[in-house]
Amino acid sequence: EAEDLESLETPMTIVNPVMGVWPKDAPDAQEEVLLRFEQGRCIAVNGKALKPLQVLQLCNEIAGRNGLGISQALENRILGTKSRGVYEAPGMELLGQGITYVYQAVLDRRSTSLFRQLSTHVSDQIYDGRYFDPSTRTAINAIWQLAEPAHGTVKLGLFKGHAHFLSLTDCPHSI
């Protein structure tokens, strides 16, 4: 399926990124980005209010040029086979790191543990094509309930494939 990538001796760098650059090719200066979250959803980037698709598109652009979100996976397929791939999700990586800092501030240890378990369940279910399964829908609803206090503005520094925490402000539900 993945031709040369199927060999674990082949580096993932044989793939040419489409949505960004390899970290080594990213700019030599740190870029700062502000992400505003309300109820766990990013509603603004760098102070500009955006619709969800616009948020993802802008985050893909910003994170991609800074070398974020390129990964390789050796997957266990549902049929029991293995498959290796290189994936790009720069915007999702940036948003994921940003919201993680907000969750760290607003959720206690037990809520964080539950959130992780529910998230793992949902991702496994979706991977297996079970989005409409009752357990998936219930887990998603519980995740949204845990996300309700997740309000905050995160500033991250992006540099050569890394996103560094700089600050968290406007986070009224911080524990």
State yes or no: pLDDT of 67 exceeds 60.
Answer: yes
- Mean pLDDT, the chain, rounded, equals 94
Structure tokens at 154: 């995160």
> Do residues 85 and 73 touch, judged by C-beta distance below 8 A?
yes
Write the pLDDT tens digit of every residue in 83-119. Answer: 888 999 999 999 999 999 999 999 999 999 999 999 9
Per-residue model confidence (pLDDT) at position 2: 64
Phi, psi of 8 (to 5 degrees): -70, -5
What is the percent of the chain where pLDDT is above 90? 82
State yes or no: pLDDT of 124 exceeds 60.
Answer: yes
Write the pLDDT tens digit of every residue in 22-39. Answer: 999 999 999 999 999 999
Higher pLDDT, 165 or 5: 165
H runs (alpha helix) in 21-160: 52-65, 90-106, 109-127, 134-147
Which SS3 state, helix, strand or coil, does residue 110 take? helix
State yes or no: pLDDT of 1 exceeds 60.
Answer: no
